A and B are shown apart, each in its own frame.
Chain A
């Protein structure tokens, strides 16, 4: 009897701190996001007035919000496509081909993923600097005349963000695909090449179908993490308000003291990411092949 009481106390002591902190700093704020989206809150006083769905009504007519969501969608599509293409190509090369210094390449490609987005923004500000920047000086050298592209100006800024985000993400997804590709048994490739299948045929008929589950998972990752990373990049790289994405719009409303409005934007972005992931998941559903 004593033993069972000891056991209950022990379990309570172990679990309670984690459960309490998790509740205060994650569950409660999450519920608050949804609750506050229905309220208007004074910037200087914590009084709240219920406004129903009014925040959402205003939001869907806010041209700035629409533009920020368009930027978000543009980034999700382009960053995912480019990163996916290169990551899976390099993963296939590094797992299938006998390459000297395989590990060296893997280590190097993963470096951007361990750097803070602030550091990446700093690195890319040196790359994008209009005069004496790395990129413009290379372009000048290649074209033989002075190139002065303003990479962080209105027309180019989205492209600049895409380049930086792809630079950051390739290594992460490559390592991910390499892990699942190395689980594909080698004798499948051997028998395929005896049957006369070339590298490309092998890739599309063996590698791709067998790691399909993993690809589907990473597509969901791509959607969720592009929404989040785009916010971090825009916040660190771009002048305020020049090219907002969904979450940076939300954050700007918070800075302006429009807390309820900001949370309404948060709810919309969250639902958007959820629905998009579900949709992509459904579209990419295939029968799973056994290895």
Chain B
């Protein structure tokens, strides 16, 4: 009885302590992100004073400068193209493959499934150098043949590489879902005279919509944010770049000429799409995360 009384009086103190800790961590995460948003509308002279001062006004010129003179605009377009293209490619390739690998019995199925599973453990950071050399050799060969390289500094090839390296994870996730569907759906469709292709596209894919959305979300984030492959395969100084790589170059150049406003405007341009998407679908993302996967 005595002990129970004690724990009741300690309760509010403990609760308050928990709230303090939780709110502290939340502040530690929100404040730096919010700070960048505020800094993106500050004038350059404001960066030499107190860092906690609010912006004097809305200095939109930072975004205009970042978009035009720091080429963030064209980098953004490149990033949109690469991300959209690799997502489209990934879906077109991975959906049928995952469907067949999980629902048909055929020779070599077990072998392929094992290969894709093993692929989950291959990290792109290790294989980016061989991929680069392979494309470089291809370019040298093409140059001798037709006088022009094709594979390096090409955003379409970059999109193909992105889609390929995302295949194991995507097929793993989709197969897991397809395997849970009962076979009656297909049998009914075959009896009605539907072929294999139309059964897959018209009956099975619509049912897989929730997992398709999950894979689009995860892969959007990883393609949009990626910079190691992009930096390696699009290394030409004057060539096209994706947004994170362009921003990284700007950050490294910024150490000599202090153009803070443009830099923070560039940061906002990179993270705004992911933040907006996250706010719209946060529930799906934090739930989907537990079904699979290793980041980084």
Tell me how far the C-beta of A133 lies from the nearest C-beta in chain B, rounded to whole angstroms: 7
A7 touches B196 (CB 8 A): yes
Chain B interface helix/strand/loop/mixed = helix
Residues of B within 8 A of A175 (CB): 286, 289-290
Residues of B within 8 A of A6 (CB): 195-196
Question: How long is the Cα–Cα vector from A265 to B159 in the complex, in angstroms?
Answer: 28
B172 at the interface (CB under 8 A from A): no
Interface size class of A (residues with CB under 8 A): 35 or more
Residues of A within 8 A of B133 (CB): 32, 36, 41, 46, 259
A176 touches B290 (CB 8 A): yes
A134 at the interface (CB under 8 A from B): yes
Q: Which of B30, B289, B295 has the most CB of A within 10 A?
A: B295
A68 at the interface (CB under 8 A from B): no
Tell me how far the C-beta of B18 lies from the nearest C-beta in chain A, rounded to whole angstroms: 6
Question: How long is the Cα–Cα vector from A36 to B101 in the complex, in angstroms?
Answer: 32
Question: How long is the Cα–Cα vector from A14 to B104 in the complex, in angstroms?
Answer: 11
Residues of B within 8 A of A115 (CB): 33, 225, 271, 274
Which of B44-52, B62-70, B207-215 faces chain A? B44-52
B25 at the interface (CB under 8 A from A): yes
A189 at the interface (CB under 8 A from B): no
B296 touches A228 (CB 8 A): yes
Task: List residues 82-126 of chain B with CB under 8 A from any CB of chain A.
Answer: 93-94, 96-97, 99-101, 104, 106, 112, 115-116, 119, 122-123, 125-126
Question: How long is the Cα–Cα vector from A228 to B197 in the complex, in angstroms?
Answer: 40
A111 at the interface (CB under 8 A from B): yes
Question: How long is the Cα–Cα vector from A16 to B116 in the complex, in angstroms?
Answer: 13
A18 touches B93 (CB 8 A): yes
Which of A94, A108, A124, A263 sits near B29, CB closer than 8 Å?
A108
Residues of A within 8 A of B81 (CB): none
Identity of the chain A residue whose Cβ is nearest the Cβ of B19 in the assembled complex = A99
Task: List residues 241-291 of chain A with CB under 8 A from any CB of chain B.
Answer: 247, 250-251, 254, 259, 262-263, 266, 269-270
Which of A86, A97, A126 sits near B35, CB closer than 8 Å?
A126
B244 at the interface (CB under 8 A from A): yes
A110 touches B286 (CB 8 A): yes
Question: How long is the Cα–Cα vector from A229 to B196 in the complex, in angstroms?
Answer: 43
Using A99-B18, A127-B32, A175-B289 as known contacts, say yes or no to A224 and B195 having CB atoms under 8 A apart: no
Extra contacts, 4 of them, besides A116-B226, A121-B248, A251-B129 (Cβ < 8 A), are A11-B104, A94-B22, A132-B47, A232-B227
